[in-house]
Amino acid sequence: MPLEITELVYVPIKSDATRIAALLSGEVDFVQDVPVQDIQRLQQDENLRVVIGPENRAIFLGMNVGDPELKSSNIKGRNPFADKRVRHAINMAVNRQAIQKVVMRGQSIPTGIIAPPGVNGYTKELDVIPPHDIEKAKALLAEAGYPDGFSVSLHCPNDRYVNDEAICQAIVGQLAQIGIQVNLVSQSKSLHFPALQKNEVDFYLLGWGVPTFDSHYIFAYLYHTKTDKEGGWNSTRYSNPKIDEMTASLTQETDLAKRNQIIAEMWKILQDETIYIPIHIQTLAYAMKPDLDIPVDISNQPKLKFVRFKNQQQ
């Protein structure tokens, strides 16, 4: 099918407000990444079209589970995150539905796994969100030896994901309900990501897309022991020789059924470990002039070959 577009003028506009103003004034014909607070207003404008769809990206929290002690905590001589009961308590305390409704204004898909739908290895059976249960979470903390909770710093970018800082602010309030006092450190992605890769943080927000659409990409980068070749974004200090061995086997196994079985076994182990706290699948909103039809691209890289002018459609 021939391209319907003959010329593309790319206009970088960093500010959300300025970008939306440019669309409203007619300076630009199309914008990506419409802020959630502007979606309803633009949907009501008869001179614009808004299209919404999921992105191939999960947003989640990571925890330092490997160090003997957390640098940012008031607990000394031990690491609360090293106890699975603490991690399960946090998983119960994070209210994904509240974040979806209040912070994201409906523009997110709550999830119980950091693999987005469409990735090989994802199943609905794995994508189970624990019930939001404050009392049970408190009981788990007490059982783990933290009846009064503890303090910790949460590092969050403020210019990378949709409403990233606001998500972290909501989590601060939610964890306070079970006695975990969170100090929010919100900063630019230019500072946030280097700190993660240097293992300088104890608790953090991260988003992860899977361009290969295969679980191996997640295992190799986020769960494998950090080495010169693997675990490049594993800032949790998690290290499991069995998971490392199984990750390596996925690059060698040629029997698809056997390979998928290995992936399923790995997810079963890792979902119980709860090294990460899944929050949601990020959704994307594009806004454009009414005669344009540009579908949301799951990788947030709109393809020119799919651009259509509505008045030319039969």
Q: What is the mean pLDDT of the chain?
A: 95
CA distances from 172 to 164, 165, 167 (A): 13, 11, 9
pLDDT digits (tens, 9 = 90+) for 272-308: 999 999 999 999 999 999 999 999 999 999 988 899 9
If pLDDT is split at 50, 70 and 90, which confidence band does 232 have? very high
Mean pLDDT of 149-172: 97
Helix 256-273 × helix 84-93 angle, to 10°: 90
Predicted model pTM: 0.93
Helices then strands, counting H and E runs in the chain, come out as 10, 9
Residues 173-230 have pLDDT tens digits of: 999 999 999 999 999 999 999 999 999 999 999 999 999 999 999 999 999 999 999 9
Which one, of 197, 241, 264, lies nearest residue 62 by Cα? 197
Q: Domain 56-209+267-282, what architecture? A: Roll (3.10)
Are 121 and 260 contacting, i.e. CB atoms less than 8 angstroms apart? yes
The pLDDT confidence band at residue 11, using thresholds 50, 70 and 90, is very high
CATH of range 16-54+283-312; options 3.40.50.720, 3.20.80.10, 3.40.190.10, 3.40.50.880: 3.40.190.10
Span 81-95, pLDDT tens digits = 999 999 999 999 999
pLDDT confidence of 14, banded at 50, 70, 90?
Answer: confident
Q: How does pLDDT run across 254-272, given as a tens digit for each residue?
A: 999 999 999 999 999 999 9
User: Which whole-number Å values give the CA distances from 144 to 73, 85, 131, 259, 270, in the listed order?
Assistant: 16, 6, 20, 36, 20
Domain boundaries, the chain: 16-54+283-312, 56-209+267-282
What is the per-residue DSSP string for 215-270?
A: HHHHIIIIISPP-SSS-TT-TT----HHHHHHHHHTTT---HHHHHHHHHHHHHHH
Amino acid identity of residue 33, one-letter, is D
Looking at residue 1, its pLDDT comes to 63
Contact 32, 286 (CB under 8 A): yes
- The answer to whether residues 140 and 90 touch, using CB atoms and an 8 Å cutoff, is no
Task: Give the containing element (helix H, strand E) for 153.
Answer: strand 150-157
Beta-ladder partners of 283: 54
Q: Is the pLDDT of residue 314 over 90?
A: no
d(CA 39, CA 195): 33
Q: Is the pLDDT of residue 313 over 60?
A: no
